[in-house]
Structure 1
């Protein structure tokens, strides 16, 4: 399998996941204050939203790469 087909499959999978879940969240830990040996850390949960059009666009581009990547020049 060549790189273009692999990229196409990856875009299809990630685009479908992005369209179905609508985004992902992650935890960010920052140091708020440091006084001598005492450190205060803050844990924040942040969310990244993925628009529906971006997920469906990635699926479309992935399908296009998968179909055109199979042609030999």
Structure 2
């Protein structure tokens, strides 16, 4: 089985924080810049992970405000 890409690992990490309740519905995710620094990845990597979680319905973006954990 091939190793997971950086964006998949980041998505898995954020997903586990959401599922464990560490990030609760309505919580704002760190900014792209903060996630880049915390996980030593590029902005593209963060955007891919965010896109994946958005398609799963776990998070939602608010234009000009940020990305938030979706209500269940």
* TM-score of the aligned structures, taking structure 2 as reference length: 0.27
Bigger relative CO (Cα 8 Å, ≥ 6 apart) = 1
